[in-house]
Amino acid sequence: MPESGEFMQTGRLYVVATPIGNLEDISARALRVLGAVSIIAAEDTRHSKRLLDHFKIPTPLTSYHDHNEREKSPHLLAQLQQGRDVALITDAGTPCIADPGYRIVRAAQEQGIPVIAVPGPSALIAALSVSGLPTDRFTFHGFFPRKQTDAGKVITSMRAAGGTHVVYESPQRLSATLSLIAQTLPDAEACVARELTKIHEEVVRGALAELAQIFSERDTRGECVLVMNIAEPGSAGISDDAILAAVSDAIHKAGMTRRDAIKFAAHTLGVPRNRVYDLAGDA
């Protein structure tokens, strides 16, 4: 059995992260689990078979994707109830993060079947980690809406909330999406992370309007993650002097370290932390 512990009559559902590009990113634990379970539920069995063949894993595959999730979940639950272990994987990255899986996870939990995370690659987390934007809190919107009315609602909610926001986008729609968001938030700091962990990985940073211009002149390929940091409502009117004074007070009057003072000033003033750090980080 992949995991030690008390014997259970039911099987276990493993939610297994797989590489988003570089096969070296798969974990030893993921390989062990995929080789030990009775069946692997995969978003695209043809795609996943190449992964399993590469690592010489003979475990049977069954399809589990957006279009058959409702119908397939009872079949997988039956397997689990009969004591068979099941692994859930997606084409790339972590299942249930803008990918199929939550229905079977929820149904298993409701029936007392153990659901075990085998964490690993995620385009969302990888993009945030290299974006150079604040990541102490963020909002993930999944794939950017195709309908203009829905897209407008997302943009409005981002502007109203401020902070860091992340969306997935296809290479064919990236330029149009950047241009659309830039119409409302041209000066927002942003990062496009493309082809993460692959040979042609690229991370491009700049204001949204700048990125919209850059990608309008390019034939973009590969899946893209767009990370944006938007000024908190009302923070644009806060002067640099007011920010520096808040940091100074936190250090000299409250006895905070410079790092904690920067965090405190950013939070209390509603200003992006990177702006405070740029002003006070080396002062």
User: Model confidence over 257-282: pLDDT tens digits?
Assistant: 988 888 888 777 777 777 888 888 76
Question: Nearest 5 degrees, angle CA 165-CA 167-CA 169?
Answer: 155
Round to whole Å and give the CA distance between 116 and 131. 29
Most confident of 4-18, 130-144, 267-281: 130-144
Residues 177 and 145: beta-carbon distance below 8 Å: no
Q: Report whether pLDDT(235) > 70.
A: no
pLDDT in tens, 37-65: 999 999 999 999 999 999 999 999 999 99
Share of the chain above pLDDT 90, in %: 69
Mean pLDDT in residue range 8-19: 93
pLDDT for 232: 75
pLDDT for 4: 53
Round to whole Å and give the CA distance between 102 and 30. 19
Round to whole Å and give the CA distance between 178 and 186. 9
pLDDT in tens, 182-227: 998 998 999 999 999 999 999 999 999 999 999 999 999 999 999 9
